[in-house]
């Protein structure tokens, strides 16, 4: 097992209130496995990825839980151990490349920094020529044209598509084992989205990386993953092998989420899910989906349903399967 998350609780605290976002999240990723996380915007997907890498904003508090990565508890690592993992083992593609790239340094300085660290910790002190050649190789991997110009540019001098490719290149340079991809094509033109996804998919397969792909684009998750988790309001509602999840969803939320996604092959667009995500200041005490669920029962209101194993590759948290 490469990554195992257990009973993870994350809150955001402000002077006036606490947002109780992640509510006992669990998740497993095997070596080389491609895992998707789906759910509406605001369900806690980005918070979950940032927690794995421990890059939450200052007011994000991990109040409980464990994140075991390759035999180590991420939450107990020192800053230097964590820095090593971020630079050599786990790479992250953020929604907004500008958030990941430092605006005041040229791309060359940012990429060389990662490569130099990686090579030095492998016992080799690289020359400038070696760093340059490695950069060209990485840029070639992500099909980034005009590498010399890119290396000499500041992030703001590049187009959105180029910045995204630079970020993917940098994430892949540091992802020795695991890639976390948070809505990797959100800010891109539709014509480029497909290219970027194919690129990520190819590189993950070629390098035998594990990936956690977070997206509300269900088609993308269907094509790129082996297993899917459904996250709703900070709770994992269902886990299943990808095709099973899309063909035979069990949880009422998953069923509505999939049914509300427009498909090219069907007539019209699904109705959507009535209601909205709960207020994280005061979320429901029981099943967090209860206020929107068409099958809600009395017991759903006060007590959170536990995980029910329907088969080896299918788990659901819902009283309907108790
Ligand atoms: Fe609906 Fe109850 Fe199942 Fe939650 S536990 S999804 S409220 S039936």
Q: Where are the domains of the chain?
A: 3-89+175-321
**Ligand 1: does its nearest atom lie under 6 Å from the Cβ of 300?**
yes
**Ligand 1: does its nearest atom lie under 6 Å from the Cβ of 286?**
no
DSSP classification of residue 36: E
**Ligand 1: does its nearest atom lie under 6 Å from the Cβ of 287?**
yes
Of 258, 255, 169, whose CA–CA distance to 207 is shortest? 169
- CA 130 to ligand 1 center in whole angstroms: 57
How many residues are listed for the chain in this entry?
322
Ligand 1 atom 7, closest CA: 290
Selected residue with higher pLDDT from 252 and 83: 252
C-alpha span between 106 and 118 (Å, rounded): 19
Digit-coded pLDDT (tens) for 160-188: 888 988 998 888 888 889 999 998 887 67
- At which residue do the structure tokens 């992500």 appear? 142
Give residue 265's pLDDT.
53
Selected residue with higher pLDDT from 199 and 208: 208
C-alpha span between 113 and 111 (Å, rounded): 5
Give residue 200's pLDDT.
87
Give residue 269's pLDDT.
53
Average pLDDT over residues 223-227: 94
Exposed, middle or buried, 295 (CB in 10 Å: 0-12/13-18/19+)? exposed
Residue 89 has pLDDT above 80, yes or no: yes
Residue 50 has pLDDT above 60, yes or no: yes
**Ligand 1: does its nearest atom lie under 6 Å from the Cβ of 257?**
no
Q: What pTM, to 2 d.p., does this model score?
A: 0.91
- CA 293 to ligand 1 center in whole angstroms: 6
**CB 46, CB 105: distance < 8 Å:** no
Digit-coded pLDDT (tens) for 291-308: 999 999 999 999 999 999
How many Cβ atoms are within 10 Å of 131's Cβ, its own excluded?
Answer: 18
Residue 252 has pLDDT above 90, yes or no: yes
Exposed, middle or buried, 190 (CB in 10 Å: 0-12/13-18/19+)? exposed
- What tokens were used for 147? 């590498």
Give residue 267's pLDDT.
52
- CA 9 to ligand 1 center in whole angstroms: 21
Fold of 3-89+175-321: Rossmann fold (3.40.50)
Give residue 206's pLDDT.
87
Residue 75 has pLDDT above 90, yes or no: yes
- CA 318 to ligand 1 center in whole angstroms: 5
Give residue 186's pLDDT.
75
Query: What is the bridge-based pairing of β-strands 227-232 and 34-38?
Result: parallel
**Ligand 1: does its nearest atom lie under 6 Å from the Cβ of 297?**
yes
Of 237, 295, 307, which is best to mutate to test ligand 1, by the most ligand atoms within 8 angstroms of its C-beta?
295
Q: How confident is the model at residue 256 (pLDDT cuts 50, 70, 90)?
A: very high
Average pLDDT over residues 74-97: 89
Q: How confident is the model at residue 131 (pLDDT cuts 50, 70, 90)?
A: very high
Q: How confident is the model at residue 51 (pLDDT cuts 50, 70, 90)?
A: very high
Of 296, 303, 308, which is best to mutate to test ligand 1, by the most ligand atoms within 8 angstroms of its C-beta?
296
Of 159, 46, 22, 153, whose CA–CA distance to 94 is shortest? 46
**Ligand 1: does its nearest atom lie under 6 Å from the Cβ of 233?**
no
Ligand 1 atom 3, closest CA: 318
Residue 318 has pLDDT above 60, yes or no: yes
Bridge partners of 34, per DSSP, are 211
Give residue 268's pLDDT.
53
CA angle 149, 152, 154 (to 5 degrees): 110
Residue 272 has pLDDT above 80, yes or no: no
- CA 181 to ligand 1 center in whole angstroms: 30
Average pLDDT, the chain: 91
- CA 287 to ligand 1 center in whole angstroms: 6
**CB 47, CB 22: distance < 8 Å:** yes
């Amino acid at each position: 097992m490469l990554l195992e998350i257990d009973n993870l609780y994350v809150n955001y605290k402000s002077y006036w209130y606490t947002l109780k976002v992640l509510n006992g999240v669990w998740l497993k990723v095997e070596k080389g496995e491609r895992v998707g996380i789906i759910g509406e915007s605001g369900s806690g997907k980005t918070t979950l990825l940032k927690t794995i890498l421990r890059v939450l904003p200052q007011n994000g508090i991990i109040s409980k839980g464990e994140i075991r990565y390759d035999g180590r508890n991420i939450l107990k690592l020192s800053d230097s151990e964590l820095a090593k993992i971020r630079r050599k083992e786990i790479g992250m593609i953020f929604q907004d490349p500008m958030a990941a790239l430092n605006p005041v340094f040229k791309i060359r300085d940012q990429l060389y920094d990662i490569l130099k660290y990686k090579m030095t910790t492998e016992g080799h002190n690289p020359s400038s020529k070696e760093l340059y050649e490695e950069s060209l190789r990485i840029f070639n991997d992500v099909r980034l044209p005009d590498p010399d110009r890119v290396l000499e540019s500041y992030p703001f001098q590049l187009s959105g598509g180029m910045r995204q490719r630079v970020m993917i290149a940098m994430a892949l340079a540091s992802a020795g084992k695991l890639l976390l991809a948070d809505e990797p094509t959100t800010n891109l033109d539709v014509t480029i989205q497909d290219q970027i996804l194919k690129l990520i998919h190819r590189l993950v397969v070629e390098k035998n990386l594990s990936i956690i792909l977070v997206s509300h684009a269900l088609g993308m998750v269907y094509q790129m993953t082996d297993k899917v988790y459904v996250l709703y309001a900070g709770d994992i509602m269902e886990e299943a092998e990808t095709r099973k999840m899309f063909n035979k969803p069990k949880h009422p939320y998953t069923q509505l989420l999939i049914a509300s996604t427009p498909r090219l092959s069907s007539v019209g667009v699904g109705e959507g899910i009535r209601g909205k995500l709960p207020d994280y200041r005061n979320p429901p005490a029981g099943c967090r989906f209860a206020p929107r669920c068409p099958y809600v029962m009395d017991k759903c209101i006060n007590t959170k349903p536990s995980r029910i194993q329907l088969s080896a590759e299918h788990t659901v948290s819902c009283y309907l399967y108790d």
